[in-house]
Structure 1
Amino acid sequence: MGRYTERDLKAEETIGREGRNSSFHKRIYDDLHVSSNYLFSVVLNFVWPLNYSSSSLICSTIYNMCNQKEPHDYSEQLYNKYKETLDEYITSTVLPPLREKHDEFMLRELAQRWLNHKVMVMWLTRFFQYLDRYFITRRSLPALNVVGMTCFRDLVGY
């Protein structure tokens, strides 16, 4: 698994205009099966501040990955990875501090984690808006923000 730099994303934007079946797409696709890739780690690891150029490149990379003919259309894999990544994040980052605390301290931690989760889901939904508008609509799947909130409810269970 590799981290993707802004240079990789700029190269992808150029490749996306010239031809969509790139080795960069293959690299991201391979990473989808290994662990969180750059597209998710930007938000999950809070790599801020995210400038306009970086966020624009992320959105265009997602668009290019989803706007291809089979077998190079990664929409379904990205949608599945979205839920999988949120589940992994909640299990590894949100639940342990909640289990360590009790009473009022646990409630305060839960409230803070819920606020953080809503912000994270908002940003992920913005980055993956192409999925929301086209792939999810065509397949009649739950919207990304619904998936994000449901993950928290199901895993945290409070």
Structure 2
Amino acid sequence: MLREIVEVLSEKKMKKKLTLEEGLNILNEGIAKAMMILDGYPTSTLFTCEEYMKLYDCVYDMCVQHPPYEYCSELYDIFQKALEQGITSRVIPAVKDKSHIILLYELWHMWSKYKIMAKCLGGFFLYLDRHFVEDRKSASLSDLSISCFHDLVCVELYPKLLEAAICLIHEDRDHNSVCKDLLKNVSTFFVEIGRGSMRYYENFEGAVLSNTETYYNYLVPQWLQHYSSADYVLKAEFCLNQEKERTSEFLHQTSVEKLLRLVHGLLLGQTANQLHEKQKTECGDSSLSYQDMLSRCAGLNLGERA
């Protein structure tokens, strides 16, 4: 047994050192196959277990070889360039010149495939996370993959994405859209692309609230003019219930509560005096007394903690 161990160790010791060029020849084949994930190919059809391990072993050997054959820094750069190549050759052409709902669909479609590709590539280069990244205080492979997509795609497209998402919400509010799953995906994307920060989602939330305020500020004067006080309150109750049901499907619960408080204030808070005066002038309309109206308003459910 001891002799066998010595033989194995001797074989490893005598193993020919991989040069950077030789390693790249092996890795480039795997990287080219990984790029095909962005074209829709499943990972399982591209790599056998043996091929995957060969690529992992290649990176491992190039990391643990003694200088000048230790290539951790170079491999980290190769991983980043592979991500960037996938983005520039596949992702950007797919979303370029798209707008509105098509842009949102294409972005989510490519983002989903890109995450799979990045995970696949990350498996080849996994040893960097365990060795090089921690030592050099560099971004993890996962964080680097998000950073590349953010810098090359999201920075430029973010205003268009936000505009398209708000437009879709507006259409959904007017019952012209059945894209709630897409809105949920867009909301998820804004969280994921933030690299641990909620900044993009919070910007999205702020835009939703602003659009909601504009929407109801436009409608309230018309409703006050054309509806009785009783019908107005019923309309307000219906809108609040609809907003809660709709936004709960794609916003975080805290965002839903903020939106419902906003809508409640716009529809019933700032119009209370006008509704009271309107109710007093409505001769013969006793379908809903003012006290009943106040009770109904107070009883509207704005959310779990509102």
Same fold (TM over 0.5): yes
How many pairs were matched up?
139
Per the alignment, residue 156 of structure 1 pairs with 153
Q: What TM-score do the two structures reach when normalised by structure 1?
A: 0.78
User: In angstroms, what is the RMSD of aligned CA positions?
Assistant: 2.3
After superposing the two structures, state which structure 1 stretch, 43-52 or 100-109, moved more. 43-52
Per the alignment, residue 112 of structure 1 pairs with 109
Of residues 90, 96, 99, the one that matches 1:93 is 90
Measured against aligned partners, the alpha-carbon deviations of 1:82-141 in whole angstroms (never above 9, x if no partner) come to 111211221121111211321100110000011011111111112211011011111111
1:100 counterpart SS class: coil
Deviation at 1:17, TM superposition (A): 6.3
Distance 1:150 1:119 in 2: 15
Per the alignment, residue 27 of structure 1 pairs with 22
Per the alignment, residue 72 of structure 2 pairs with 75
Distance 2:18 2:94 in 1: 41
Deviation at 1:149, TM superposition (A): 0.6
**Cα gap change, 1:101 to 1:17, in 2 (>3 Å):** farther
Higher relative contact order, structure no. (Cα contacts within 8 Å, ≥ 6 residues apart): 1
| Residue pair 2:33, 2:46 contacting (<8 A) in 1 also | no
> After superposition, where does 1:20-59 map in structure 2 within 5 Å?
20-22=16-18, 25-29=20-24, 37-46=28-37, 48-59=45-56
Deviation at 1:39, TM superposition (A): 3.4
Specify the code of the residue in structure 1 equivalent to 2:35: L
Unaligned 5+ runs, structure 1: 1-14
Per the alignment, residue 7 of structure 1 pairs with none
Deviation at 1:26, TM superposition (A): 3.5
Distance 1:41 1:17 in 2: 31
Which structure has the larger Rg over C-alpha atoms?
Answer: 2
**Cα gap change, 1:21 to 1:44, in 2 (>3 Å):** same
Which portions of structure 1, spanning 4 or more consecutive aligned residues, are displaced by more than 3 angstroms? 15-18
Per the alignment, residue 136 of structure 1 pairs with 133
- The sequence identity of aligned pairs, in percent, is 27
**Cα gap change, 1:26 to 1:155, in 2 (>3 Å):** closer
Distance 2:100 2:34 in 1: 30
Per the alignment, residue 7 of structure 2 pairs with none
Unaligned 5+ runs, structure 2: 1-10, 38-42, 159-306
